[in-house]
Amino acid sequence: MITKEKVNAFIEKIPPSPKILKATIILLDQGDLIKAAKIAKEDLALSAYLKNLVNRPIYGFRNEVSDVSQIFGILGVSKSQQAVYNYMISLLSPVKWKLFSLNKATFYELQAQLSAKWQKIVAHLGIKDKDIQSAISLLPASIIVSEALFCEKIEDVRLLRSVNEIDLNTILQRLCKMDLFDICDNIAQKWEMSESISQIINAASGLKPSSDETINMLGKWMHLLLFYTLSQEIFIHAQLNDFIDFQVDYVSDIYEDFLSLMEIS
């Protein structure tokens, strides 16, 4: 059994944000894209990450975007803030993944796909809340923490997976009495996100619906997005699809709407 203290120790490694990142996040939260870009340019690694992220095919830019001011201007406040959160998560990404068949490129692809598709969803739903728009960045963060936790008991995990058809979320619960969504919840608290984000994340599990209609609806969209994204061949190969136990009945009322939205380029 992995103790709650050890789980919290891994979560504590999620960077609260170095000086430049914190200043960038504050300025973006204030809606000042010009000053935020000026500060962000001082971090060369952040600038390179933003360029790498937004020039992926999922964002659909015809010409390469390289300047931070241009990137922030195109993305707007909420998407820029989400991109900076994604960079903070990438700082914790392991050099070599042991359980999941991931590397830097495939992890960035996961971040890019989840970010772009979630932005499409919140725009479709008319959501303006910046925390909600950034909430999807918590899921790649929890995958990094899960990898670290699994590596503590790597042989036990491999044995369980070889003998029984047990999904990774169930194994995670057995190891530390927390699942992927509980870890997301803890990271949201560390980043001082609003209580509604924790509720949406829990609803996204498909097993802990909210009595609040709006939060429950967002949870359904996030649940579908996770299953849809992690069911791609690249992420099936990485074994990430084993995390999500698809709750068909939970999302049946929005399933067709979701598929229609995903088909829009």
Query: What pLDDT, in 10s, does the model give residues 105-159?
Result: 899 889 889 988 998 999 999 988 878 888 888 888 889 888 988 888 888 888 8
As to burial, measured by CB atoms within 10 angstroms (0-12 exposed, 13-18 middle, 19+ buried), residue 24 is buried
For the chain, what percent of residues have pLDDT higher than 90?
Answer: 26
Question: Which of 12-26, 136-150, 152-166, 201-215 shows the lowest mean pLDDT across its residues?
Answer: 12-26
Residue type, 239: Q
Question: What domains are defined for the chain?
Answer: 4-263 (1.10.3210.10)
Contact criterion met (CB below 8 Å) for 144 and 92: yes
The pLDDT of residue 17: 52
Residue 234, C-beta contacts closer than 8 angstroms, at least 6 positions apart: 106, 109
Closest-CA residue to 242 (of 162, 185, 183, 188): 162
Asked whether the predicted pLDDT for residue 15 surpasses 60, the reply is: no
Could you give the angle at the alpha carbon of 182 between the alpha carbons of 259 and 190, nearest 5°? 105
Residue 212, C-beta contacts closer than 8 angstroms, at least 6 positions apart: 199
Closest-CA residue to 217 (of 187, 254, 186): 254
What mean pLDDT is predicted for residues 211-221? 94
Counted residue by residue, the chain has a size of: 265
The pLDDT of residue 250: 94
Closest-CA residue to 198 (of 244, 148, 122, 132): 132
The pLDDT of residue 249: 93
What is the distance between the alpha carbons of residues 198 and 187, in angstroms, rounded to a whole number?
A: 9
The pLDDT of residue 13: 66
Question: Which of 85-89, 105-109, 211-215 shows the lowest mean pLDDT across its residues?
Answer: 85-89
Query: Average per-residue pLDDT in the chain?
Result: 86
Asked whether the predicted pLDDT for residue 191 surpasses 90, the reply is: no
